[in-house]
Chain A
Amino acid sequence: MSRPEHPIVRLRGVSKVYGATRALSDVDFACFGGEIHAVLGENGAGKSTLMKLVAGVIQPTSGDIEVDSVAMRLKGPADAMARGLVCMFQELSLVPDLSVRENLMLGAVGTGLGRLNTGVVRRAQDILAQIDGGAIGMKTRVADLSLAEQQQVEIAKALTRDPKLLILDEATSALNASVVEKVFQLIRAERDRGVGVLFISHRFHEIESLADRISIFRNGTHVDTFDNGACSYGQIISKMVGQRIDDLFPPKPAPDPHAQEVLRLDGFGWADTLKDVSIVLRKGQITGLGGLDGQGQGSVLQGLFGLLRGTEGRCLVGGTPVAINHPKHAKNPKLGIALVPEDRKTEGLILDQSIAQNLELAALGTDGINASDPAIYRPFLDALELKCDSLDQPVSQLSGGNQQKVALTKWLALGPRCMLLADPTRGIDVKTKTQIYALLRRLAESGVAILLVSTDYEELIHLCDETHVFYQGRIVRHLTGEDVTAEAIIAASLNIPASAQTAQSTHA
């Protein structure tokens, strides 16, 4: 492929330091027009920092950024956008209280603080129509859209800004496979028009199918850049991790269908979201809940943790019927239920407080536990290899993976009988994942029942002993043993009858 002589953006010796942490050190990096450039790396490798630098959100501590071969300081996103560097952020840049229409006009090219440009709305609607978003109402408040719809709007908004370089940071994480493919077609079309694309994703198959070039980052340094296809999957992984990881998942023990029952849900229902859900959790087992995003899996966890009002059906803990109506009730040692919520930044942790303060919060006021005793947290922190300067460090300074370790330990210290986990490895690097998987398996072996919601079917296949697949609030399939395959999970997620499975799985 012929490449333009000059890159759109070039970083020379760029470093970015936050307090004591070096997010990027001495990075040289370039991206060219007419090329889709994927950036790979574990969490904390510096990918998002790189994107933010190029998008003008932050400024480098040292080093130069060149746009069209001219060194300059990008003063802010507006400045970057004016130079054609448009970013679609992982934390969306949509204003929740404004309508879709208003969001599209906000900061549109040539608007500033003056008269609004309504032309972009028409263009965005055309783009939305191409990526299955034609049904999104322009007058709808963004807060009322699903995450997937918000991502579609965000993509449309970015494309109406006439990018020369389009930066996509986990832009498609909530979209399903068919929409992702349509987005990719759009991105390829942009590339063919000469637009440069910087693409971050954790989904390998997406990068394989989309990228022209791949750059690997590790620990804030630029490790390597090569053409897509030049390195094997295994080579890429080892470049990312810096070491070989032989087995992501711990070995599964033989299933014991007669293990002691810890928790049973019978005909559990809630509002329009959950209908007739029956699940049995047994000692030593990891039970998975699969399906597309938002099919009711999360509500099962919330219901078990006492967050939902007006639930139907029966819930038995250790054979005794119980009504769980408050998290305080759920965490009581009599029930011993713990929930690690999906959003660790706003639900699982208090970012401004120290690690120690976060650890204590669940244990405080629980009978028979001394919350201020470090010994109750130590074994779990050691097993997960938490990296921190001291326990008095604010949680906000930790990487995503280390934050999740704190969120887990806070509950493990209570010695729960039943752990509820909502997508605990979402957006977390490979190494932390293996540590979490190993710990979960060991917990299960020690007798804890684990209920795990996951959107990653690898986890359902290799970590879980059995899996319930949800579709529109019901369990549509219960898979155990050899039946748990990627094809079966995907087919069940889309509620496709078994006969149509093979045809569908080739697309997925």
Chain B
Amino acid sequence: MRNLLKANQREAIAILVLAVLLTLYLTTHPTGANTYVVTIWANQCLILALAAIAQFFAVIVRGIDLSVGAVMALTNCVASYLVIGSGLDMAFGIAAVLAVGVACGLFNGALVVFGRIQPIVATLATASLFTGLALLLRPTPGGRIDYDLADAFTLDVLGIPTALIIAAAVIGLFWVPLRRTGLGLGLYAVGSSEQAAFQSGMPVPVIRLASFAMGGLFAGLAGLYFSFVTTTGDAGIGPNYTLNSIAAVVLGGVALRGGVGTLTGAMAGAFILKTIGSLMFFSGLPPLAQPFIEGLILAGAIAIGGAGVLRVKNRLEVFGK
């Protein structure tokens, strides 16, 4: 157990922080802790958590994805046309939305793998492209998502918010099995040392492509879930989510240099970030001070994480590998 904790130290801290914040949130909330409050909170958190997972898949293979928000916007706009109508229509619509997400991810991946463009630069350009496509679909916000379907995903099941069930399912049914495959291990290997992964016989380009595709899938899921929450399409939602997804993965203990961190950690980071925001809203602080405090907390959390280097006794250690 101690070994397990030590190995997942960053995630353990993140989850602990989250628990404290959530308790604080629920006790300060004016109406107290009830299903409704928790559901609203969980829905907001899940959107960012899915975006953070999309970012996680870019970061884990030593990349960064500046198009997460743009893919969300695009898939949100697609959903606002297709996720409505008969059951079959909607099933097709959801599949199409997710396919768009995967396609965007694959496009990013292809630019990185075959075009040899640095991920940050490639996704900077594709973000513009995807945003343009979203604007083409929805020059102004509009469209509609089937309300019943949206409710099914954004309310609760026997008092447990559906969003939390989805979050648990992502971890239990997707991440844990993935971690037991060569692909799951390969993600870390490629991010930590591409050379070592290659020499160990891993197909590095395939792994990178797969990682970007999974990133696209989750950006699509984030866009889809955003659609369920807002039940409308809006091409302008991107920029905020991109930057917040980066902040979330960092808070969740994922190292930007790649190869370190977990999907669970990235989700926890997203939940923390959103909870801080919600907490602020009900905290009685002057509303105008909130952006500053949010920034301060983010900077503080990161700086504390970085303060360890001040104690380093050999100056060379700060340079890492």
Contacts and interface: CB of A to CB of B under 8 A. Distances in A.
Interface of A: 55, 57, 76-78, 81, 87, 89, 91-99, 102-103, 105-107, 111-116, 139, 143, 157, 270-271, 299, 302, 306-310, 347
B313 A270 contact: yes
Contact of B314 (A93, A102, A309): A309
17 contacts: A76-B203, A77-B199, A78-B202, A78-B203, A92-B196, A93-B200, A94-B193, A95-B259, A96-B192, A96-B196, A97-B260, A98-B192, A102-B185, A113-B206, A114-B182, A116-B180, A302-B314
Contacts of A157: 200
Interface in B266-321: 312-316, 321
Contact of A113 (B183, B196, B259, B316): B183
A95 B313 contact: no
B185 A105 contact: yes
B192 A106 contact: no
B182 A116 contact: yes
B115 interface: no
Nearest to B184: A116
A492 B207 CA distance: 50
Contact of B316 (A91, A102, A143, A307): A307
B132 to A, nearest CB: 34
A115 B189 contact: no
Contact of B192 (A95, A111, A139, A299): A95
Nearest to B310: A309
A98 B195 contact: no
Contacts of A347: 316
B313 A271 contact: yes
Chain B's interface size range is 20 to 34
A491 B118 CA distance: 53
B315 A112 contact: no
B195 A91 contact: yes
Interface in B196-210: 196-203, 206-207, 210
Contacts of B321: 96, 143
Contacts of B7: 99, 139
A113 B313 contact: no
Given A115-B180, A309-B314, A97 B201 contact: no
B186 interface: yes
A247 B37 CA distance: 84
B197 A308 contact: no
A308 B202 contact: no
Contacts of A116: 180-182, 185
Contacts of A98: 185, 188-189, 192, 259
B101 to A, nearest CB: 21
A160 B193 CA distance: 21
Contact of A106 (B180, B186, B313): B186
B315 A307 contact: yes
Given A102-B188, A113-B203, 8 more contacts: A95-B197, A102-B185, A103-B200, A105-B182, A113-B186, A115-B181, A116-B180, A309-B312
B59 to A, nearest CB: 13
- For the complex of A and B, 4 pairs with smallest distance between CB atoms: A93-B199, A97-B192, A78-B201, A107-B201
Contacts of A102: 185, 188
Nearest to A52: B199
A118 to B, nearest CB: 9
A402 to B, nearest CB: 23
Contacts of B191: 97
B5 to A, nearest CB: 12
**Residue of A76, A78, A93 most packed against chain B (CB within 10 A):** A93
B245 to A, nearest CB: 22
B31 interface: no
Interface of B: 3, 7, 180-183, 185-186, 188-189, 191-193, 195-203, 206-207, 210, 259-260, 312-316, 321
Nearest to B186: A113
Contacts of B182: 105-107, 111-116
Contacts of A103: 200
Given A96-B321, A116-B180, A307-B315, A81 B201 contact: yes
Contacts of B210: 113
A77 B201 contact: yes
**Residue of A57, A99, A111, A271 most packed against chain B (CB within 10 A):** A111
**Residue of B3, B188, B201, B203 most packed against chain A (CB within 10 A):** B201
A113 B207 contact: yes
**Residue of B188, B191, B202, B210 most packed against chain A (CB within 10 A):** B202
Nearest to A141: B7
Contacts of B313: 270-271, 308-310
Contacts of B192: 95-98
A153 B189 CA distance: 16
Nearest to A102: B185
Given A96-B321, A113-B186, A106 B206 contact: no
A497 B225 CA distance: 73
A77 B316 contact: no
A57 B204 CA distance: 13
A378 to B, nearest CB: 31
Contacts of A96: 192-193, 196, 259, 321
Contact of A95 (B3, B193, B316): B193
B314 to A, nearest CB: 6
A87 B182 CA distance: 20
A78 B197 CA distance: 10
B217 to A, nearest CB: 16
Nearest to B261: A97
Contacts of A115: 180-182
Contacts of A270: 313
B49 to A, nearest CB: 23
B3 A106 contact: no
**Residue of B196, B260, B315 most packed against chain A (CB within 10 A):** B196
Contacts of A89: 199
Contact of B197 (A105, A106, A111, A114): A106
A338 B278 CA distance: 56
Nearest to A88: B199
B174 to A, nearest CB: 15
Nearest to A91: B195
Contacts of A78: 201-203
Contacts of A92: 196
Nearest to A106: B200
B111 to A, nearest CB: 22
A89 to B, nearest CB: 6
B179 to A, nearest CB: 9
A294 to B, nearest CB: 13
A350 to B, nearest CB: 13
B227 to A, nearest CB: 32
Given A95-B192, A102-B188, A77 B260 contact: no
Contacts of B259: 95-98
Contacts of A113: 181-183, 186, 203, 206-207, 210
Given A77-B199, A89-B199, A95-B197, A139 B183 contact: no
Nearest to B200: A107
A105 B316 CA distance: 32
Given A93-B199, A106-B186, A302 B316 contact: yes
**Residue of B7, B181, B207, B315 most packed against chain A (CB within 10 A):** B315
A302 B181 CA distance: 43
Given A93-B196, A113-B186, A308 B181 contact: no
